[in-house]
């Protein structure tokens, strides 16, 4: 299974002739990168406005310079933390098989959640204007039992994933 498979079908041989079809959907960081850039622009505008106000009020130049340096260092730290968070999310994969959905995530700490197909009750999707522009969406799954909701954020080819999960949910409700 080499190569990037986004919303594509891949086949794996398990125990000889038995073949499973699976669809892989990956997290896309486009929306989060836009958010970091927009946040940085807003921070720069705030910095310029604060410097103009300080000059108008008559705050000494040394205080403005120290405050500006501190503000820039803090903003760079926040940007670095955001990019580390984005990098960690790039290891998230949603795998849809005929009989289950597997969510694998994590970078330093890896985790996997498996949802059997018979536990899926419903599926819903949500996409903001920025997600629509980036061709991603959030998908939520409601499961049986405790009514738990599981969310997959910023999924590439999300419409295809939504259709597959909805089909699984319909098969489960019709089978009862």
CA dist 40 and 35 (Å) reads 9
For the chain, the maximum distance between any two Cα atoms, rounded to a whole number of angstroms, is 80
Residue 145 has pLDDT above 80, yes or no: no
pLDDT digits (tens, 9 = 90+) for 44-68: 888 888 888 888 888 787 777 887 8
Q: Calculate the average pLDDT of the chain.
A: 78
CA dist 155 and 161 (Å) reads 8
For the residues 94-101, what does the mean pLDDT come to? 86
Classify 28 as helix, strand or coil: coil
Angle at 106 between CA 101 and CA 109, to 5 degrees: 125
pLDDT digits (tens, 9 = 90+) for 19-28: 458 888 888 7
Which one is predicted more confidently, 148 or 96?
96
**pTM for the whole thing?**
0.66
List the domain boundaries for the chain.
8-29+90-174, 32-87
The CATH label, of 3.10.450, 2.30.29, 3.30.750, 2.60.450, for the domain at 8-29+90-174 is 2.30.29
Question: Which of 111-150 are b and which e, b meaning 16 or more Cβ less than 10 Å from the residue's Cβ?
Answer: eeeebebebbeebebebeeebeebebbbbbbebeeeeeee
Which of 98, 78, 147 lies closest to 119 in space, CA to CA?
Answer: 147
pLDDT digits (tens, 9 = 90+) for 75-90: 889 888 888 888 878 8
Spatial contact of 25 and 6, defined as CB atoms under 8 Å apart: yes
């Amino acid at each position: 299974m080499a190569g990037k498979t986004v919303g594509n079908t891949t086949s794996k041989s398990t125990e000889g002739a038995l073949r499973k079809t699976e669809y892989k959907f990956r997290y896309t960081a486009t929306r989060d990168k836009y958010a970091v850039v927009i946040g940085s622009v807003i921070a720069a505008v705030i910095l310029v406005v604060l410097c103009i106000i300080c000059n108008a009020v008559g705050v000494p130049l040394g205080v403005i310079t120290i405050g500006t340096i501190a503000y820039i260092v803090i903003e760079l730290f926040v940007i670095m933390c955001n990019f580390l968070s984005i990098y960690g999310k790039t290891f998230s994969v949603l795998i849809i098989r005929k009989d289950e959905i597997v969510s694998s995530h994590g970078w330093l700490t890896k985790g996997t959640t498996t949802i059997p197909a018979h536990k899926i009750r419903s599926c819903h999707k949500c996409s903001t204007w920025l997600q629509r522009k980036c061709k991603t969406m959030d998908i939520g799954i409601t499961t049986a039992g405790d009514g738990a909701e599981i969310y997959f954020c910023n999924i590439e080819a999300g419409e295809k994933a939504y259709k597959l999960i909805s089909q699984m949910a319909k098969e489960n409700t019709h089978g009862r």
